[in-house]
Amino acid sequence: MTTAVAGIAAAVVAFGVDPYEPGHFPTCPVLSMTGLYCTGCGTLRAVHSLLHLDVAGAWGMNPLALLLAPFAVATWAAWVRRAWTGEPLRWLAPPWAVGVVLVAMALFTVLRNLAPFAPYLAP
pLDDT, tens only, 76-119: 888 888 888 888 877 777 889 889 989 999 999 998 888 676 77
pLDDT digits (tens, 9 = 90+) for 18-47: 888 888 888 889 999 998 999 999 898 999
Q: What is the pLDDT of residue 1?
A: 65
Helices of type H across the chain = 2-16, 29-34, 43-51, 55-61, 63-85, 95-112
Q: Specify the pLDDT at position 33.
A: 94
> What is the residue type of 67?
L
Number of Cβ within a 10 Å radius of residue 120: 8
Q: Count the Cβ atoms, other than its own, within 10 Å of residue 51.
A: 14
User: For residues 72 and 52, is the Cβ–Cβ distance under 8 A?
Assistant: no
pLDDT in tens, 39-77: 999 898 999 999 999 999 999 899 999 998 888 888 888
What pLDDT was estimated at residue 49? Answer: 92
Domain tally, the chain: 1
**Residue 76: which domain range?**
2-121
C-alpha–C-alpha distance, residues 36 and 109, integer Å: 9
pLDDT at 56: 92
